[in-house]
Chain A
Amino acid sequence: MNLINTLTLSGILFAIGVYGLVTRRNAVGVLMATELLLNSVNLNLVAFNHYLHPAGLGGQMFTLFTITVAAAEATVALALVVALFRARRSVMVEDINQLKW
């Protein structure tokens, strides 16, 4: 229950997110791993705010904005996934290779 423990938790969470990003085939799974990454970064920001600058609000404000951007990103990404599924009948990322030369 101090800064280093929280940062360690956030670091391990980030590594798990990277693993998911690399190994998922489903585009929705890749998006979920991205959400894990953003979540771990938010944890980081709040921890720094609470332990190193308790009088300020910078970390919490940054976290609020990151959560909002994550929501916007999820909206667009899931719309892309639905459109892709309609066009290709698949959401596996290796099937999406039309732009690959």
Chain B
Amino acid sequence: MQNIAFYLSAVLILWCALRCVSSPYIFRSALYLAAALSLTAVQYVLMEAYFVAVVQILVYVGAVIILIVFAVMLTAQLGEGNISQSNSLALPGFLVAGGFGWGLVALLRGFDWTKVTPGPATPGALSTDSNIMAIGRALTGDYVYPFEIIGLLLFTALIGAVLIARKDPQ
């Protein structure tokens, strides 16, 4: 069952990602990106990262995709279907990306994974309960400074975005 879910979602993610980078319409491309990101949440659930899966749906599909769709609508050019959304580098791009991906996959398939020893097994509190409680503790404990700094970063990015995108006063 888990294997079926894994392979099905993996194939769908790859197909949606391919359509996302190759679709001639940028709006459809955004929808395919939403599908690929939602299906990635399935992968997270399979790896028992429930909180990350929920955050993925909320932040990516709920916020980033909406932003992208808004940007597409605000910048759409008339007769968009006639304008090519891809440049003429399809073959060199395919060679570069294909070579890169082939190298990556060959590297990790060729690596001797028996040399890597997994960490200690999950202690009882983490395995019986979901680890959402542990994440909450970590966010207010070990990771409190990154947490605060990331909040500052988001704040700065929001102000910067408003400043950049607003109309000139005159």
Binding site for B on A (CB under 8 A): 1, 3-9, 11-20, 22-26, 28-29, 31-33, 35-36, 39, 42-43, 46-47, 49-57, 60-61, 63-65, 67-76, 78-83, 85-86, 90-92, 94
Contacts and interface: CB of A to CB of B under 8 A. Distances in A.
A39 B39 CA distance: 11
Contact of A71 (B40, B64, B74): B64
Contacts of A56: 119
Nearest to B99: A15
A9 B164 contact: no
Interface string B23-35: 0001001100100
Determine the main DSSP class of B at the interface with A: helix
B2 interface: yes
Contacts of B128: none
Contacts, number: 239
Interface of B: 2-3, 6, 10, 13-14, 17-18, 20-22, 26, 29-30, 33, 36-37, 40, 43-44, 46-49, 51-52, 55-56, 59-60, 63-64, 67-68, 70-72, 74-75, 77, 83-87, 89-90, 92-94, 96-98, 100-102, 104-105, 108-109, 113, 116, 118-123, 126, 131, 134-135, 138-139, 143, 146, 150, 153-154, 156-158, 160-162, 164-165, 167
B89 A4 contact: no
A7 B59 CA distance: 23
Nearest to B56: A67
Nearest first, the 8 closest Cβ-Cβ pairs linking A and B are A15-B101, A20-B21, A19-B97, A72-B157, A22-B93, A79-B161, A53-B119, A11-B104
10 contacts: A9-B10, A19-B97, A20-B21, A24-B21, A25-B87, A32-B20, A42-B40, A74-B67, A83-B164, A94-B87
